[in-house]
Amino acid sequence: MDDLKIAIANFPIRRWVSENFTRVSSSNRGEFLRVDCPFCGGRNTLSIDTRKKYCRCFRCEGKSVSEGSWSGRGGIVDLVCAVEGIDVKSGIARVFQLSEFPDTVVRQEKPVAVDKDIPAEAIPLDKVENSHESVQGILRRGLIHLLESVYVCVDGRYARRWILPVYWQHEFVGFEAKSYVGDKPKSLFPEWFKTGEYVYATQTWDTRFGFVVVAESIFDAETIGLNAVGLFGSTLRVGQLTRLIELAENRDVHSLVWFLDSDAWTKQQAGILRYTNVLFDNYVVRVPPGQDPNSLGKDKCCDLIRAAIKVSDSVTLASQHYRASNMSR
């Protein structure tokens, strides 16, 4: 346990929070971070003590709002488990990993064999009655083409969630379990799926275009439909950058078109300019406040992509952010 205390003390809490929460504010000279609670939906109600590595949501404290894995308060391991949808053992290993603790400590944990497959209780969505809310949810989003590739769970750990398989270079690498009834958190991932090392890529691709549209989610990418990837969030991770480089090599991609929610601009600025600018031409889509690709629909997305603005420095990017934030809905 002493090793765990050392790992927790060195846990990169600010970086982890920035990668897993859309909006982050700070108080008391940055000692406390405030974020929207992903479990009860409270705006700015989850407080994280960066010094003591302790967190508390004043709205859902004491309530079992995430199938027993989150009671509204706890330490870093509790928060990591709840947000990333993993068990305690995997959460401890995750803390060791992110704290860059010596590998000898991590290897003390006996590896757990897992079947890297979709859940056994998952049902192909095209086998479900059209009246079921899981099917209707896909149809409302205009994603009828996904009925042949998406699954649904009605019970088990992923009950009331779509199972969205993720493939990379024709290899199954994981899945996202996304709630179709508004359960929190919105998305769960199996502990063996390394979301920071992969992006979701649409099956439809045309190498003549030489670009990829970078969106936040699977549904956003599939709404765009062509040459699009989803990041499983609004932050580009190092492993995901490697996947973009593979697209450059294998599919002749030389331009990135960033199609992100308006509130993700500031957060993604470093990823656009610091990591990708020397490798790709970067373009940004001005998205109206409160909108995303899925809410806009495919036709509107195509119009906005055609009007994307090339950016090469922080001044230009900030200017586009300002214009996007002032667009009419």
With contact defined as beta carbons under 8 Å apart, do 302 and 291 qualify? no
CATH number at residue 51: 3.90.580.10
Q: Evaluate the CA torsion angle 76, 79, 80, 86 in order and state its sign.
A: positive
The answer to whether residue 89 scores a pLDDT higher than 80 is: no
215 and 321 inside one domain:
yes
8 and 100 inside one domain:
yes
CATH number at residue 322: 3.40.1360.10
What's the pLDDT at 135? Answer: 95
Higher pLDDT: 75 or 101? It is: 75
Sheet order of strands, 281-284 included: 200-201, 228-230, 211-215, 255-258, 281-284, 309-311
The Cα–Cα gap between 300 and 17 comes to 32
152 and 129 inside one domain:
yes
324 and 218 inside one domain:
yes
Q: How many CB atoms lie within 10 A of CB 225?
A: 18
Q: Which of 89, 106, 123 is the last residue of a domain?
A: 106
- pLDDT band with cut points at 50, 70 and 90 for residue 267: low
The answer to whether residue 221 scores a pLDDT higher than 90 is: yes
The Cα–Cα gap between 21 and 233 comes to 9
Mean pLDDT taken over the chain = 82
Higher pLDDT: 318 or 221? It is: 221
The answer to whether residue 199 scores a pLDDT higher than 90 is: yes
Which residue type occupies 247?
Answer: L
271 and 222 inside one domain:
yes
Q: What is the mean pLDDT of residues 121-132?
A: 93
270 and 329 inside one domain:
yes
Q: Which of 77, 106, 135 is the last residue of a domain?
A: 106
Reported as a single tens digit per residue, the pLDDT across 2-36 is: 577 888 888 888 888 888 887 888 776 667 888 88
Range of the domain at 136: 114-190
DSSP single-letter state for residue 309: E
With contact defined as beta carbons under 8 Å apart, do 283 and 256 qualify? yes
328 and 223 inside one domain:
yes
Tokens of 297: 């629909």
Higher pLDDT: 312 or 50? It is: 50
207 and 320 inside one domain:
yes
- pLDDT band with cut points at 50, 70 and 90 for residue 167: very high
What's the pLDDT at 86? Answer: 83
91 and 130 inside one domain:
no
The pTM assigned to this predicted structure is 0.62
Q: Which of 177-181, 231-235, 312-316 has the highest mean pLDDT?
A: 177-181
With contact defined as beta carbons under 8 Å apart, do 221 and 202 qualify? yes
186 and 149 inside one domain:
yes
Q: What is the percent of the chain where pLDDT is above 90?
A: 33
Q: Which residues have CB under 8 Å from 225's CB, separation 6+?
A: 202, 204, 298
Q: Which of 125, 156, 190 is the last residue of a domain?
A: 190
98 and 179 inside one domain:
no
Helical (H) or strand (E) element with 222:
helix 218-224
Instruction: Tally the domains of the chain.
Output: 3
256 and 308 inside one domain:
yes
Sort strands 281-284 and 255-258 into parallel, antiparallel or unpaired: parallel
